[in-house]
Structure 1
Amino acid sequence: MKPCRVETNGMEMELDRRSLAMIRLSFGGRTWFENPDNGASLWRLHAVDARGRRVDLECGGCRRAEVVRRKDGVELRWTGVAHRAAGAGPFDVTVRLAPVAGRRLLTAWRIDVRNRSGDWTLWHLLFPLLNGLRPGPSPDRDMLFWPEMWGMQTTGWERMKEVSGVCGGYGKHSAQFMGFSHSDRTFYFASHDPEQWPKHMVFKPVSCRSRRSAQIYFLAHPAGMTEAGNSYRQQYEVVLGEIPGDWYDAARTYAQWVRGRPWVSSPPKNAFKGLREEREILVWEQGSINAFPSERVVTVNDLSASKWARQMKTLKRKLGVRMAVHMYHWHQTPFDTNYPEYFPVKQGFKDLVADLQDAGIVIMPYINGRLWDHSAPSYDAQAELHAVKCCAERAAPPLRFAWPESYGNGQLLVTMCLATEFWRRKVVQLCERIVKELGCRGIYLDQLGCSGSRTCVDPRHGHSLGGGSYWLEGYRRLLASIRDRIGPEPYLTTENNWEACVADFDALLDTQWNHEENLPIFPAVYWDRGAIYGGDVFGPAFGGGGETFIQRMGMRCVWGGELGWGHFEHLLKPENRDLLDYFIGLCRLRTDHARFFCRGEFLRPPEVVTSDGTKCSSPLKGPVLSALWSDPDGDGCSLFLVNVTRGEQRVKVRMTDARAAARSPAVCVSLRPLESKAVAL
């Protein structure tokens, strides 16, 4: 039987005529996915019943499948989808394919699932489930990229491994898109979901002797999980298709959509309204009070508190920039224990705060924005009521419980539901006490930016069960309430860079160990909106001549990050004099050109080649790191270069950004050892 063909906006798809399984998916005549053996289902439903039976259903289980062509695209319909042996179903599935306005070869996909069963609950679904991704003409040059922290890539089909994670979860997928490039084309795969429903994004190579392939999909959670008969209507578009170019072009495609979302463009009404460079904190020290139990401040970072404070003041004078201390262990209770009982504080902490802040150093204490210690005296019936609940995969489960987490100290903590006013009020009160009682000018709310949207199945909370927009809504209410109580001046930060946090926080902590595979996806999407700090420059980073310190800080400088987090007191050691000079140079470069990094646009990275022919492609090793930023106050742009070696470098820089190339197609620049430099174009 000949396949059925559907077309829209330059997308061509061949489908098995009986089941509408996808045989081939092409864009502009170029095949990206191919499943020659009877095709592969475009979706998979995972359903469970009250007895704990679980089934997966695909298009082959339908009674009827049909294609309906419309003026605005195509509908694929499957009716009577069921698992006959288990008695699961029937389900009716409709997939809508529509063109993306103004973007040939991009298509918008939606799925509706009608559950006509009285016994089965739809637990999750995979959609679009695209099997048979093919390598390009040169598989060793194929590139997979995804938005893990700054951004990550893998080049070469043989090196590609599974990339899977929660959107917004622990930096794995801080945004809702990824891509696969070969030749000069990229397959773009994105969820344009303004409500941030909980979902996973997955790329998975498939082992097969006869041919290489991979699958790519979103795993989504419907509302009504645990309720028999729940249906699903996708509230957002999954946009996919071919775009010309590479990862940068994919990032800009996503940026066109995401920069209009309120969680990127609209900070709370009582947030700071001035220019970003007026309040940017450029250097972030990490301070840990006492490596032993004590009710008073004795040491910070294994130095006497007084000596460490003197070193911070010395650093502040030498660097000449806004500086902050991200402070841990300031409370008498042990770390990750008895949360959210952070008071009383260690004796002497308030005096330490006043001393350093009088010297112009912001003190930002740690609190956790989502966890309550299950064994804390304050964890009572009210706390239990408002915790996130999970359950076994069942319809109408008899038990819904708070799942405990542990972080290596033997304590059990549970996630609180951000949709509840009870938890939001608790966090707001803590923030108010830190600012008003302790005088701190910053607060770090841990884990809000690294957990993404969660699923909660407690019907007493008043939100939809499982999937829904309630997590984003509750989180944004929390941050707005914090600003209402503490005002615009205190600095707010969180862990990792979930895109939904961009508008609400002054900076986002990068906890990722840096890789040669890093890409500057974050600034390519969120330029002038979001800021990242981090880098893990603790004691070991200064060993071996400080190469790790040099590389990590250089990368962050040119990509627009704030510098830290770590133990910068090591810079004051005599043997690290050249590292201090290098860091002072980075600080001056960032300060003198703050408007570029805070309000300018991150342009397509240039191509840099040293005089001996070395391509500067590694974001860590260089030997010269580079970036192009536009001038927000004019029509020019500047090239920023950092020599991360202790030798002189002469480089030729070719502009790949059209605007920069129109001003100066290429420049030659000489750099002294460890020199950072700006070149106006």
Structure 2
Amino acid sequence: GSKSVTFVTEVVTSEGWTDATTGRFDLPWTTVVGYNPDGWQAAALQWYRPFTFTCEWGNKSLQSRNIPQWLLDKDLWIRSKGVTDTVMAAINKTIDFFGEGIGVHTYYWHNYPYDTHYPDYFPAKPEFEGMISTIQKRKCHAVPYINGRLWDPAADSYTALNGASASCRKADGTLYTEIYPTSKVLNTVTCPASSLWHKIIIGLVDKIQNELHTNGVYIDQIAAAAPQPCFAKNHGHAAGGGDFWYKSYKALIDSIRGNHLRKDNIVFSEENSECYIPLFDMLLTVNTPHANCSIVPLFPTVYSDRVITCAYTYTPTADVTKGEFRYQNMQCFLYGSQLGWVDPTLLMRDEAKTEATFLRTLMELRKKQHDIFIEGRYIREFVPGGDNPQIDVPTFGKNHVVMGSEWQSKDGQRVWYVVNMDTQAHEVILPSGKSLKMKPLSGKRINL
């Protein structure tokens, strides 16, 4: 077979890369390709991880970022949908079962259906402020959802504020539009450089904190959705591609942090585009594809000591009892992420008792691992040998029921973690050759 590889990367250029005086075009970066015959992990450790410490997104420690202590202490999140007695009952039941300190990520709290009429979230549903208060009285934290990128042209504000003037524009002047499966409503992509958009998002952050008394704000899509080239002439950036997208969001989040985010409140976003790491207190990592591919721990291998993450992939939306949820939280724990991010109305069903108990077991174990998971380094994944069968995990395919990971604390303490997601006990063989008896639905720390 061929021993050659063709590597191609395509980018839309920025007019700012051409010197207006000389007409000279310069690409504002160099490209280096590193190869290691030992595989992706060796290449990441030899080439990429050291490089990230030279970047503005990778050169900041967690300690330097003033992340609220309650978030550092967090081990479990739930994702509530709606403001009803049923939802509140499920939240209370979850707190009863898991104890105080849970994070509640609240959706469907706004005036219009999900993924419609953005950014016209207010007025909030009448019971929502009371829901927030109840959660906080039970010594938990509540952070509501907004979208930081989409503007629905059907929203009243789009007409009243001339939202079209803030919309991202293709080269031919037309809009970028997106339709999401929940709502099937057409949304426009807003340019993050728009001063109007900054004013709107900042106004929402203020209103959510001041009127609803939340523990911060979740701003969706910023660290998830791809940037678009923008050719609008009125947004204050050079036309085309370039770094204006990141820099504009950075300016927005810096302004929120510096002037609007209340003490001990957080701001976080979905997904883990690496340039946004220091902008947000936490990154919600749930969009990872897993059909017809295998997930590898590249992100924790590179960034585990400089980021807080939550979740692993999207949790089931109808039934958590099929094995998928247990697999997700096993891997979530081993990767060092904060657990859960699950709908409490599903988790607290009687038939999901096994899943809830397993999640509580991992949460209790994780509570004792902050010396490792905060500023510690994820070293590698391993699959224990011995009695470690593979099962067909829904949407994930064939996977072992017992998995492990190696970590090292910032003080140099090396540990192995081993988790058994199965309802059966298994005696497995560790990388050292020693055997280990794993109880059903259990996890262990082994100091090296």
TM-score class, shorter-chain normalisation, is 0.7 to 0.9
CA contact 1:493–1:507 (8 Å) conserved in 2? yes
Give per-residue Cα distances to partners, 1:162-209, cap 9 Å, x unaligned: xxxxxxxxxxxxxxxxxxxxxxxxxxxxxxxxxxxxxxxxxxxxxxxx
State, as a whole percentage, how many aligned pairs show the same letter: 24
Please name the residue that 2:40 is paired with.
247
Give per-residue Cα distances to partners, 1:65-121, cap 9 Å, x unaligned: xxxxxxxxxxxxxxxxxxxxxxxxxxxxxxxxxxxxxxxxxxxxxxxxxxxxxxxxx
Q: Report the Cα distance in structure 1 between the residues aligned to 2:301 and 2:142, rounded to whole angstroms.
A: 30
Please name the residue that 2:307 is paired with.
530
Correspondences of 1:514-663 after superposition (within 5 Å): 514=290, 517-534=294-311, 535-538=313-316, 540-543=318-321, 546-611=322-387, 621-632=399-410, 634-654=411-431
Aligned residues: 435
Q: 1:362 aligns with which of 138, 141, 162?
A: 141
CA contact 1:603–1:630 (8 Å) conserved in 2? yes
Normalised TM-score (structure 2): 0.88
Matched, 1:330 2:109: yes
Q: 1:500 aligns with which of 259, 263, 275?
A: 275
CA gap of 1:230–1:325, structure 2 versus 1, over 3 A, is farther
Which segments of structure 1 move beyond 6 Å, counting only runs of 4 or more?
A: 227-230, 267-270, 612-615
CA gap of 1:267–1:407, structure 2 versus 1, over 3 A, is farther
Q: Report the Cα distance in structure 2 between the residues aligned to 1:648 and 1:566, rounded to whole angstroms.
A: 26
Q: 1:471 aligns with which of 245, 267, 271?
A: 245
Q: 1:386 aligns with which of 156, 166, 174?
A: 166
Q: Report the Cα distance in structure 2 between the residues aligned to 1:599 and 1:478, rounded to whole angstroms.
A: 27
Please name the residue that 1:121 is paired with.
none
Q: Report the Cα distance in structure 2 between the residues aligned to 1:612 and 1:532, rounded to whole angstroms.
A: 28
2:434 is paired with a residue of what secondary structure? strand
CA gap of 1:288–1:614, structure 2 versus 1, over 3 A, is closer
Q: 2:7 aligns with which of 208, 213, 216?
A: 216
Q: CA offset at residue 627 of structure 1?
A: 0.4
1:602 is paired with a residue of what secondary structure? strand
Please name the residue that 2:66 is paired with.
272
CA contact 2:268–2:282 (8 Å) conserved in 1? yes
Please name the residue that 1:19 is paired with.
none
Matched, 1:674 2:441: yes
CA contact 2:267–2:281 (8 Å) conserved in 1? yes
Q: CA offset at residue 571 of structure 1?
A: 4.0
Give per-residue Cα distances to partners, 1:509-541, cap 9 Å, x unaligned: 213354561101110011122233233334544
Q: CA offset at residue 672 of structure 1?
A: 0.9
CA contact 1:222–1:232 (8 Å) conserved in 2? no
1:315 is paired with a residue of what secondary structure? helix
CA gap of 1:233–1:243, structure 2 versus 1, over 3 A, is same
CA gap of 1:642–1:478, structure 2 versus 1, over 3 A, is same
Query: Which structure's residues are more often helix, by fraction?
Result: 2
Which protein has the larger Cα radius of gyration, Structure 1 or Structure 2? 1
CA contact 1:271–1:483 (8 Å) conserved in 2? no
CA contact 1:366–1:445 (8 Å) conserved in 2? yes
CA gap of 1:419–1:620, structure 2 versus 1, over 3 A, is farther
Q: Report the Cα distance in structure 1 between the residues aligned to 2:237 and 2:299, rounded to whole angstroms.
A: 31
Letter in 2 for 1:264: G
Query: Which structure's residues are more often strand, by fraction?
Result: 1
Please name the residue that 1:46 is paired with.
none
Q: 1:405 aligns with which of 173, 178, 195?
A: 178
Normalised TM-score (structure 1): 0.59
Q: CA offset at residue 267 of structure 1?
A: 8.5
Deviates more, 1:567-576 or 1:249-258: 567-576
Letter in 2 for 1:258: T
Q: Which runs of no fewer than 5 residues in structure 1 stay unpaired?
A: 1-29, 34-132, 134-214, 290-296, 300-304, 393-399, 655-664
Please name the residue that 2:264 is paired with.
489
